[in-house]
Structure 1
Amino acid sequence: MFTGLIREIATVKSYRNNILTIKSKHKAKLGDSIAVNGVCLTVIKVNPDGFDLELADETRSIIDESKISGEVHIEPAMQMNDRFEGHIVQGHVDCVGEVAKITKRENGTDFIIKVDPKYIAHIIPKGSITIDGISLTVNDVYKDSFRITIIPHTLENTLMKHYRVGTKLNIETDVFARYIDHILAHRSSKKSMSWDDVDKIQMSY
């Protein structure tokens, strides 16, 4: 589990044969879970200047390849004794969004993010969303997009300062919205749910 608070901006050294090599100050251990631009990956090798991670076929089928090059956000998995901030992030990317519009404001910057309309039901006004691993709050939701406002501190300390119209983004919607939607969809079949059914729903995320 993650919080959506970026701990470091690291650099991709290489990406070959599904293996991602990261240069980072973070001292990872073999088997650690680390979110890279919001994608939960497992450390398979520790290097003097970073670590290697492996991308599964399912992961590669969802994310955009631009998300595994250049500079990337990283966040190690939350420890049991860590202070909980941000929001509950699984590191399971739902879809790739795209910056549709950027508007400068007096004390922030508005981003309109376009997504496949089928994911809009899981994006809630004033709720939480994860974009490239960053925990953010949704302001408004439209038919196929949503609006967020980024404060200067977040803009300056993340890769969002480089985002332009057309930039691809890893999107993870709210985990509780996904749970509720899935449960209600199963209830609509008028079939009572067993504990095995509930376990299967939880394991699917």
Structure 2
Amino acid sequence: MFTGIITGIGTLVRVDRDQTGERSEWGDTRMVVESQYDCESILIGASIAHSGACMTVVEKEQTAEGCRYAFDVSDESLDKTTLSDWKVGHKINLERAMTAADELGGHLVSGHVDQVGELISREALAGSLKLTFQAPADLMATIAPKGSITIDGVSLTVNMVEDAQFSVNIIPHTAEVTTLGQLQPGDKVNLEIDLIARYVARYLSQMRDKS
């Protein structure tokens, strides 16, 4: 589990997948990230959220810059997230899994991306930045004003919901310490809806199917 509070920005330094698009020898795409984390504090098998997508550390190496570690990405994850578009040099919001002693500063985040959204517009507004996104219709039904949503791993409060779009406001600090401040219209983002909304939507879907 995660909180949606970013603890670092990593850089994608290697992607191992055959140029023909075939799977690599271990069956998945392997990505290597350079982070400022201390390698000694990261165990093999540890969970780290990468712009909202939870991945498992399978290799690690201490470098002068910090910790360089690898994780494997299944084809399912590539299909359901923005990871399939990542190239070497891509900046990634990082959050390590929470512990029982951590402060829950954001909201409970599973690290399981629901769908991909797209930034429609950005607007400077009273010292903050208003970001408006478009999301798939079935996901919009679970997004509510003043509810929580995770965008590229960042816990945020929804301000406006209208048709197939919703907006959030981010303060200068959030724009500086996450990748959200660099987003431009047309950029794709990973979206995770609130956990409660996810199960309510599932329950209502089951009830409709039985009626």
- TM-score (structure 2 length as normaliser): 0.86
In the TM superposition, structure 1's runs of 4+ consecutive aligned residues that sit over 2 Å from their partners are 64-69, 187-191
Please, which of 199, 202, 205 is the counterpart of residue 179 of structure 1? 199
1:54 aligned onto 2:65: no
- Aligned to 1:78, what secondary structure does the other structure show? coil
Task: Give the deviation of 1:67 after TM superposition.
Answer: 4.4
Contact conserved, 1:67 with 1:169, CA < 8 A, in 2? no
Alpha-carbon distance in structure 2 between the residues aligned to 1:186 and 1:68: 39
Contact conserved, 1:95 with 1:172, CA < 8 A, in 2? yes
Contact conserved, 2:55 with 2:73, CA < 8 A, in 1? yes
1:32 aligned onto 2:52: no
1:158 aligned onto 2:178: yes
Alpha-carbon distance in structure 1 between the residues aligned to 2:116 and 2:192: 9
User: What letter is aligned with 2:99?
Assistant: Q
- Aligned to 2:205, what secondary structure does the other structure show? helix
Aligned residue pairs: how many?
191
Alpha-carbon distance in structure 2 between the residues aligned to 1:116 and 1:184: 18
Alignment partner, residue 102 of structure 2 = 82
Please, which of 132, 145, 157 is the counterpart of residue 152 of structure 2? 132
Task: Give the deviation of 1:66 after TM superposition.
Answer: 3.2
Alpha-carbon distance in structure 1 between the residues aligned to 2:176 and 2:36: 20
Gaps of 5+ in 1: 192-205
Per-residue Cα deviation, 1:107-131 (whole angstroms, up to 9, x for no partner): 2111110111111011111000001
Contact conserved, 1:107 with 1:152, CA < 8 A, in 2? yes
Per-residue Cα deviation, 1:139-197 (whole angstroms, up to 9, x for no partner): 01111110111111111221122111111111111111110111122223448xxxxxx
Alignment partner, residue 115 of structure 1 = 135
Superposed CA RMSD in Å reads 1.4
User: What letter is aligned with 2:35?
Assistant: S
Please, which of 92, 113, 121 is the counterpart of residue 93 of structure 1? 113
Alignment partner, residue 41 of structure 1 = 55
Alpha-carbon distance in structure 2 between the residues aligned to 1:74 and 1:190: 41
Alignment partner, residue 3 of structure 1 = 3
Alignment partner, residue 195 of structure 1 = none
- Aligned to 1:165, what secondary structure does the other structure show? coil
Contact conserved, 2:8 with 2:177, CA < 8 A, in 1? no
Alpha-carbon distance in structure 1 between the residues aligned to 2:44 and 2:31: 14
Contact conserved, 1:33 with 1:40, CA < 8 A, in 2? yes
Alpha-carbon distance in structure 2 between the residues aligned to 1:68 and 1:2: 25
Cα gap change, 1:177/1:67 in structure 2, threshold over 3 Å: closer, same or farther?
farther
Contact conserved, 2:3 with 2:104, CA < 8 A, in 1? yes
- Aligned to 2:197, what secondary structure does the other structure show? helix
- TM-score (structure 1 length as normaliser): 0.88
Task: Give the deviation of 1:62 after TM superposition.
Answer: 0.9
